[in-house]
Amino acid sequence: MTLNSDVSTAEVFFSGEDEAQARALRRQVESGAFRRIYAGVFTQNLDSPLESVVTRNWAAIASHLLPGAVMAYRSALEHRPIDGVIHVRRGRTRRTLALPGLLVEVYPGEGPLLEPPAPDVPYRGIYMPSEARGFLENMATGRGASERVMPQEAVEERLDKILTIRGKFKLNDLRECARVVADKLDMQPAFKRLDGLIGALLGTYEKKKLKSKQALARAAGKPYDPERLDLFDALFAQLTANVFPHVADPAAEGRAMENFAFFEAYFSNYIEGTTFEVAEAEQIVFEGAIIQDRPEDSQDILGTFHVATSSPWRNRTAPNADQFLAWLKNINAIVMSGRPDKLPGQWKEQANQAGNTYFVAPELVPGTLKEGYERIAAQTDPVARALMTMFVVTEVHPFKDGNGRTARLAMNGALTEAGLCRIIVPTVYREDYLLPLKRLSNDRDAGPYIRSMTRAQDWTSRFDYRQPRAGLKQQLERSNAFQEDLKNYRLIFPEKTTTP
């Protein structure tokens, strides 16, 4: 008996037109060696639900039953079953093939386009439509079309993503390809609707054609990164579910404030690679010294200290989204004032990254920060608001340099405004700080980040900042705060200091 697939390896296989083969297969099914899925379609998997077998092998099955079919409607862009349905175009007859766990909806239509500029792509024995044809398929209207096509909001978000990642040229190129395809397939009404959406996104047509929040923001000149908003929402939900201790500020004024701000600036810069001996940093901050051959690094320390001790940057937050953006720009401008090549206080002009993590694209920075601010302002607990602030700035990375320092200063400003202890991230705690941020960015798990930062705040609150700096430095040393050997040293928590 010869089958159309290698039964020894394929999970599904197909019978041909030979009657003897068909009888042999029926006997195999009756004996329990194979299971019949559909006319001419069999599996040797005797354990998995047939619905699961069909879902895994839908493309092979469709290729056997409907060779040359072209995926249609929503399937033309999704390229997979949605809610147990695949739409295809083939021949002249409307019909439905009902398989376990899968309906294949067959609609009359033209076969594959194989010529430039937008040829359809063969996949097994069927065709994936070109991107242009896929979008045209989802511009269909009429009776029942809303159940078959992708929602307009989702189409707009896909177009906006093309515009963000590939740029205006590629979106215009997609439009021109769609124009050619529409002429070949007699889909001019669909092209007219697609042209309207693309034009609205590019600002050449009225934006009233658009529906999705993302596309409307783009048309209004305030585009944002939707994937970052998903991250912000994940953190927002987990922050809202927490109850935070409110640790009083142990260094609200005078010597205590200056001592605290000094070590806050020292450690915040050390994490970013701007490293000095404590004595050198003291000379910079308290004696006005500029360390030889390191004027830019010296100004980094001084600028961070200035923000941590000066109102409004130290103790005021922004009352609205526009002022939040201006507030961040001012903080970064002060911190990075010694490095004009880093464009202090200006949004980045080129994309930036850390390892394999790409931050928000330059044109999406203002809009994404404004969306982030809405989630910051909605937090009622000041600790939650501060942690939300730092993550929004860190994740957007809006500046060419100084993003980490700006984010931590913004967080601490929110804490000081509420009369709470600011957070210092000592050198030995570097991985305990950075790895939870990475975990949140990659896995949407905010738990480690929240625990890490509240633990750092608890540690920070345990010192007597009113004492002379030399004594405070000794306390920090006993806590391993300055250690760079992260394998052999851990952060030690001193007994809490009682403030009279």
If asked whether residues 257 and 182 sit together in one domain, one would say: no
Q: Does residue 466 belong to any structural domain of this protein?
A: yes
If asked whether residues 263 and 363 sit together in one domain, one would say: yes
If asked whether residues 440 and 320 sit together in one domain, one would say: yes
If asked whether residues 199 and 267 sit together in one domain, one would say: no
Q: Does residue 34 belong to any structural domain of this protein?
A: no
If asked whether residues 192 and 273 sit together in one domain, one would say: no
If asked whether residues 173 and 197 sit together in one domain, one would say: yes
Write down which residue in 219, 246, 276 finishes a domain. 219
Q: Does residue 272 belong to any structural domain of this protein?
A: yes
If asked whether residues 191 and 242 sit together in one domain, one would say: no
pTM over 0.75: no
If asked whether residues 295 and 371 sit together in one domain, one would say: yes
If asked whether residues 203 and 297 sit together in one domain, one would say: no
The total number of structural domains in the chain stands at 2
For residue 22, the model assigns a pLDDT of: 75
If asked whether residues 241 and 383 sit together in one domain, one would say: yes
> Tens-digit pLDDT profile for the chain (500 aa)?
444 444 445 789 888 777 777 788 888 888 888 999 999 899 989 999 999 999 999 999 999 999 999 999 999 999 989 999 999 999 999 999 999 999 999 999 999 999 999 999 999 999 999 999 999 999 999 888 989 999 998 999 899 888 877 888 889 999 999 999 999 999 999 999 999 999 888 877 666 677 667 666 766 666 778 889 889 999 999 999 999 999 999 999 999 999 999 999 999 999 999 999 999 999 999 998 988 889 999 999 999 999 999 999 999 999 999 999 999 999 999 999 999 999 999 999 998 877 777 899 898 999 999 999 999 999 999 999 999 999 999 999 999 999 999 999 999 999 999 999 999 999 999 999 999 999 999 999 999 999 999 999 999 999 999 999 999 999 999 999 999 998 899 999 998 765 44
CATH number, position 415: 1.10.3290.10
Write down which residue in 185, 203, 219 finishes a domain. 219
Residue 18 CA to chain centroid, in angstroms?
A: 54
Q: Does residue 336 belong to any structural domain of this protein?
A: yes
Q: From the CA atom positions of the chain, what is the Rg in Å?
A: 31
Cβ–Cβ < 8 Å for 34, 10:
no
Write down which residue in 190, 219, 248 finishes a domain. 219
If asked whether residues 405 and 264 sit together in one domain, one would say: yes
For residue 208, the model assigns a pLDDT of: 64
What's the domain range around 357? 226-478
Q: Does residue 236 belong to any structural domain of this protein?
A: yes
For residue 450, the model assigns a pLDDT of: 97
Q: Does residue 146 belong to any structural domain of this protein?
A: no
Q: Does residue 61 belong to any structural domain of this protein?
A: no
**What does pLDDT average to over the chain?**
91
Q: Does residue 435 belong to any structural domain of this protein?
A: yes
If asked whether residues 165 and 195 sit together in one domain, one would say: yes
For residue 292, the model assigns a pLDDT of: 85
